[in-house]
Amino acid sequence: MHALFNALFYYLWIAPHVLLAVILVLIVHRKLHRQFPMFFLYTALEILQFGVLFRMWVSDPHFGGGYERLFSAGMTVSSALRFGVIYEVFGQLLADYPALKESGKTFFRGVTVLLLLTGVAVSFFIPGKSVDLLMFATNTLDRTVSLLQCGLLLSVFIVSRHFALSLRGHAFGIALGLGTYASVQMATSAVLLGVGSTSSRFPNFITMAAYHCCVLIWICYLAVPERAATRTLDTLPEHNLDIWNRELQHLLQR
Amino acid sequence: MIITTILVFVALLALSCLLWLAKAHASTSGALKNPAEHLRAVDIEAFRNLVDPDEEEFLRTNLPPADFRKIQRERLRAAVDYVSCAAENAAILVRLADAARRSSDPVTAEAAEKLVNNAIRLRLYALHAIPRLYLGMILPGSRISPARIAESYEQMTRQVVLLGCLQYPTRGVSAAL
């Protein structure tokens, strides 16, 4: 059983980062780094961070404070870059719709402030418990950041749905993957803070599995070219046009 | 432990909402395949009449206060339905015009671009107007003038006609949409 857990742990740690390397190649190959520079930077840094941490882990399985400090620092940088990625996705969404640019930005800022206040309030009133100050701070930051990111990504989808905007394939995939990961991370960081243990295996496995799913979603969307160009008005079926005529006549009545 | 459970529940709820919204977003092409099923007729004059301050004033002076409040609530409820309907139509038109924006004909593409912007503007106005109409239902005496919605809707429908003529000059509006 222990060996099975170990194998699962290594798989969930290594596999997403191998897939991230594939994503990095796809980004460069499809020249998406011009469209998503933050996502490109985030992917590259995640791989670099994994490389350094994995090397430390292999060289000394009974890792000390150095590993934890590096892990916390890496997580902080990753979290900051993920905000950049979300902003990038939101920017992509609004870029095609000038009428919504100003209102969209105001809405995005408003939601960010609201979520930040909620996150700070949750951290203040529900501090959690942990023996290790660094890991306590890391998990608290994790919970606040995931709450913010989850809320922001939800708002991206809500805006997109309300205004019937077409979120292009790649941006859609990035948002979906990140949103899935952020919501699971919010749950697991809350459990870790509630339990007061940083080494609890189950929540960590869940987070790692969610990240794996997130990377799989990214790879699925980035591997295929965007479909938007195939949807044109000329493809509308002929037999619907008479019904449309009646609808428009009603619509244009005064 | 209760708070942790609540946070986990909130996270799972957020995940469910996210997946539902993503699924809904992915399936929006359904409206393009069969728009007539989704598009509803909106009588702009009836709407204007419902939110006309003169009409409201006339009712206020000619009806007992209790009857006026009752009727005014009914009128505003109907106005909300009209705005919602127009906003739903606008959403469908956004999708249709979005596809037309990729037209190889620059005139059609430009008309589609204008239509998208106006439809979005209408949805923005609707977002502001509906709470105001509801407020008017709670306080039937308060002044409401969502005239900009009527103007925007008229402008949008004009652009639908223009887009139709540009897309299929020989067939008219019906063929375009």
Report the predicted TM-score, pTM, of the whole model to 2 decimal places: 0.78
Question: Per the structure, how many domains does chain B have?
Answer: 1
Both tokens of residue B139? 């306080």
The domain of B51 spans 43-176
Is residue B19 included in any domain, yes or no?
no
Q: Residue A174 in contact with residue A85, Cβ under 8 Å?
A: yes
Closest CA relative to residue A81, chosen from A109, A116, A40: A40
For chain A, the structural domain boundaries read: 2-225
Closest CA to B28 of A164, A243, A217: A164
Q: What is the mean pLDDT of residues A62-80?
A: 81
**Is pLDDT of A43 > 90?**
yes
3-class secondary structure, B168 = coil
- Report the alpha-carbon distance of residue A67 to residue A71 in Å, rounded: 6
User: What local confidence, expressed as pLDDT, does residue B130 receive?
Assistant: 83
Q: Give the three-class secondary structure for B125.
A: helix
Q: Do A162 and B1 touch (CB under 8 A)?
A: no
Q: What is the ipTM of this complex?
A: 0.76
The pLDDT value recorded for residue B121 is 80
pLDDT band for position A250 (cuts 50, 70, 90): very low
Using alpha carbons, select from B48, B37, B75 the residue that is nearest to residue B59. Answer: B75
Q: Is residue B54 part of a domain?
A: yes
| pLDDT, average across residues A71-81 | 88
Distance from CA of B66 to the nearest CA of A (A): 31
Helix and strand totals (H; E) in chain A: 8, 0
Q: Which two tokens stand for residue B88?
A: 């739903």
Q: Is the pLDDT of residue B173 over 50?
A: no
Give tens-digit pLDDT for A183-194: 999 898 888 887
Q: Do A233 and B29 touch (CB under 8 A)?
A: no
A51 C-beta neighbours (distance < 10 Å), count: 12
Q: In this complex, is the C-beta atom of B29 within 8 Å of any C-beta atom belonging to chain A? A: yes
Which chain A residue is nearest to residue B108, measuring alpha carbons? A233
Query: Given CB atoms, is B33 within the 8 Å cutoff of chain A?
Result: yes
Whole-number average pLDDT of chain A: 81
Instruction: Give the closest residue to B98 by CA, choosing from A226, A235, A170, A228.
Output: A228
CA atoms within 13 A on the CB side of A41: 15
- Residue B12 in any domain: the answer is no
B15 contacts A100? CB cut-off 8 A: no
Are B56 and B88 contacting, i.e. CB atoms less than 8 angstroms apart? no
Domain-located, residue B25: no
- Residue B83 falls inside a structural domain: yes
- The reply to whether residue B95 touches residue A166, judged by beta carbons under 8 angstroms, is yes
Helix axes A133-162, A169-195, angle to 10 degrees: 140
Provide mean pLDDT across the span B137-143.
70
Most confidently modeled range among A127-131, A196-200, B61-65? B61-65
> Would you say residue B8 lies in a domain?
no
